[in-house]
């Protein structure tokens, strides 16, 4: 999907500025949660813009990090996804 199409879809489904939820699931080892939250905070440096919760699988092998973001534009949403994609241990990004 092109950036322009993604921007169009985000504009059609959200009224910016708004709250936006991202879920990252990955290996719980090697400080996965810290790296996910850190990447989001680096992308949206406003202190109030990033809140998160974490759930672990019963065996503790995987973590699901839910980011509750305050975003001002589709470009910020796209920047968040770009910043999270290369994180080591990431299995699913929603």
Q: What is the pLDDT of residue 62?
A: 96
66 bridge partner residues: 23, 53
Token pair of 77 as six digits: 């949403």
In this predicted model, what pLDDT tens digit does every residue of 20-59 receive, in sequence order? 999 999 999 879 999 999 999 999 988 788 999 999 999 9
Number of structural domains found in the chain: 1
Q: What is the pLDDT of residue 22?
A: 98
Q: Which helix (H) or strand (E) holds 62?
A: strand 62-71
Q: Report how far residue 21's alpha carbon sits from residue 29's, in angstroms, rounded to the nearest whole number.
A: 23
Q: Report how far residue 90's alpha carbon sits from residue 94's, in angstroms, rounded to the nearest whole number.
A: 11
Choose among 28, 22, 70: nearest CA to 45. Answer: 70
Q: Report how far residue 70's alpha carbon sits from residue 50's, in angstroms, rounded to the nearest whole number.
A: 7
CATH (domain of 29): 3.30.70.260
| Confidence tier at 84 by pLDDT (50, 70, 90) | very high
Q: What is the pLDDT of residue 26?
A: 97
Provide the residue range defining the domain that includes 32. Answer: 3-93
**What's the length of the chain?**
94
Q: Report how far residue 65's alpha carbon sits from residue 32's, in angstroms, rounded to the nearest whole number.
A: 9
Please state, rounded to an integer, the average pLDDT across all residues of the chain: 95
């Amino acid at each position: 999907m092109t950036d322009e199409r993604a921007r169009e879809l985000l504009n059609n489904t959200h009224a910016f500025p708004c709250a936006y939820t991202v879920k990252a699931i990955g290996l719980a080892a090697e400080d996965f949660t810290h790296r996910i939250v850190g990447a989001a905070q680096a992308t949206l440096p406003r202190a109030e813009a990033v809140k998160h919760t974490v759930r672990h699988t019963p065996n503790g092998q995987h973590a699901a990090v839910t980011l509750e973001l305050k975003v001002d534009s589709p470009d910020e949403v796209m920047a968040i996804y770009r910043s999270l994609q290369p994180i080591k241990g990431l299995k699913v990004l929603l």
